[in-house]
Amino acid sequence: MTNLAVRLPGLELKNPIMPASGCFGFGREYSSFYDLGKLGAVIMKAATGTGRLGNPTPRVAETASGMLNAIGLQNPGVEKIIENEVPFLGAYDTCIIANIAGSTLEEYEKVASTFNETNLVHALELNISCPNVKEGGIQFGTDPSLAQAVTEIVKKASKLPVYVKLSPNVTNIVEMAKAVEAAGADGLSMINTLTGMQIHLPSRKPLIANKTGGLSGPAIKPVAIRMIYEVKQHVDIPIIGMGGVSNAEDVLEFLLAGASAVAVGTANFSNPYVCPEIIDALPETLERYGFNSVEEAIGKGIMSV
């Protein structure tokens, strides 16, 4: 029997697969396709201090092997999420990770501490890397000292383990990872989307109303693998990997690069059943490449110098 279970701070995962933040709402829509209890965990759509309406449309565009999005963190706000969404997910036998975002340190602190009011959430994913929100203007995700500051504040405000979600839009990803580890992060989550743009020929203007959007999907997988591979060698905290995962082979590749669990985003749009299909295919895939468990494969792709 192949063992799919993974144990991470705050998370006893029965398997390493979870839908990525923003690609699965709060689970309701996908619960009509399959039992969410099959998933290792669910990462919820970002929560902010108060509700946000998000960006004007168009908010998405298709690219070669991927897509751009600039949703702009549309969400009802942390209180409504705790009241209306968390209990729904809490009824399933799966772990819940709350993705939190904000424009100011105060907003992050408020969202993090508000999640203390429910005992149904198992961990926080601290989104310091959303490229699609302009207000506030502070780019927590690209400045190591700001990333450190927001991590410290959220750690202090929350009783839950904190996984900091890193932005790939930086020159030195290892520096960012080390900064948030030093600030007390319990884990990392990587990668968020890569900032991109598409120009619509008939109108001669950027297609996405926000002008830029975040690139996701298979196109970004090699970037994610490279960054996880680099970071894994310099930090001791576990990594939840993501970026272009669409099948069990991709999951194994992320494990080999150093991820301990894997989130699936854009692939849910092409195939709403992608997560359960990956979970079903994972034992056979691990066996085929000589592994008896998920934990055995973590970091095995890293060549010692």
Partner 1 sequence: MMIQKENMIIRSVTNIALDTIEMVLENTYISKTAIPGQFLHAAIEGHTLRRPISIADIDQEKETITILFKILGKGTEKLATYQPGMTFDALGPSGNGFQVDNTRATYLLIGGGIGVPPLYYLGKTLAEKKCNIVSILGFQTEENVFYEERFQALGKTFIVTNDGSYGETGFVTDIIEKAGHFDSYFSCGPVPMLKAITSKLPTKPGLISLEERMGCGVGACMACVIPSADGKGYQKICSDGPVFHAQEVSL
Ligand X SMILES: Cc1cc2nc3c(=O)[nH]c(=O)nc-3n(C[C@H](O)[C@H](O)[C@H](O)COP(=O)(O)O)c2cc1C
Regarding 261 and contact with ligand X (CB under 6 A), the answer is: no
| b/e per residue 75-105 (b: at least 16 CB within 10 A) | bbbbbebbeebbeebeebebbbbbbbbbbeb
Q: Which is nearer to partner 1, 156 or 200 (CB)?
A: 200
- DSSP characters over 30-89: GGGTS-GGGSSEEEPPPB-SS-B--PPSP-EEEETTEEEE-----B--HHHIIIIIHHHH
Regarding 244 and contact with ligand X (CB under 6 A), the answer is: yes
| b/e per residue 162-172 (b: at least 16 CB within 10 A) | bbbbbbbbbee
Among 8, 166, 220, 275, binds ligand X (CB under 6 A): 220
What is the rounded distance in angstroms from the CA atom of residue 96 to the CA atom of residue 296?
24
165 binds, among ligand X, partner 1, none (CB under 5 to 8 A by kind): ligand X
Span near ligand X by CB under 6 A; candidates 83-91, 200-208, 228-236, 239-247: 239-247
To the query of whether residue 130 is one of the catalytic residues in this protein, the response is yes
Regarding 243 and contact with partner 1 (CB under 8 A), the answer is: no
Among 217, 241, 243, 258, binds partner 1 (CB under 8 A): 217
Stretch 113-142 residues interacting with partner 1 (CB under 8 A): none
Q: How many CA atoms lie within 13 A of 53 on its CB side?
A: 3
Structure tokens at 119: 């005992």
Regarding 197 and contact with partner 1 (CB under 8 A), the answer is: no
Among 5, 7, 33, 87, binds partner 1 (CB under 8 A): 33
244 is in an annotated binding site: yes
Residues that bind ligand X (CB under 6 A): 20-23, 45-46, 69, 71, 73, 99, 127, 130, 165, 192-193, 216-217, 220, 242-245, 264-267
